[in-house]
Amino acid sequence: MLNRRLRAATHATAGQLPAQDVENVLELIEVGEPVLAFDTLCTQLFEYDASVPLSVRDELADLGRGMQLAPSLWKNLGR
């Protein structure tokens, strides 16, 4: 379920990132590295100053909390 949700969040932000970055995140999910995939996705969204819809930000926050990651990864996205 975690991988499916993370994949969906990645697809929801695909238009905001270069295709190669999206592919990298999806590959990390597929090889069983959801934490690294999450970190990479959030970092790239921040670096590109992506416009992240509130629903996706909420989903990323929920996923991050579920993986017990630092809120700094997602708290400044899309602002």
Indicate the angle between helix axes 54-66 and 2-12, nearest 10 degrees.
Answer: 150
For residue 79, the model assigns a pLDDT of 60
Are 31 and 66 spatial neighbours (Cβ–Cβ below 8 Å)? no
Domain residue extents for the chain: 2-73
For residue 30, the model assigns a pLDDT of 97
For residue 78, the model assigns a pLDDT of 73
Q: Which two tokens stand for residue 67?
A: 């993986």
For residue 37, the model assigns a pLDDT of 98
Walk along the chain (79 residues) and give the pLDDT tens digit of each residue: 999 999 999 999 989 999 999 999 999 999 999 999 999 999 999 999 999 999 999 999 999 999 999 999 999 887 6
Are 6 and 73 spatial neighbours (Cβ–Cβ below 8 Å)? no
The span from the CA of 34 to the CA of 28, in Å, is 7
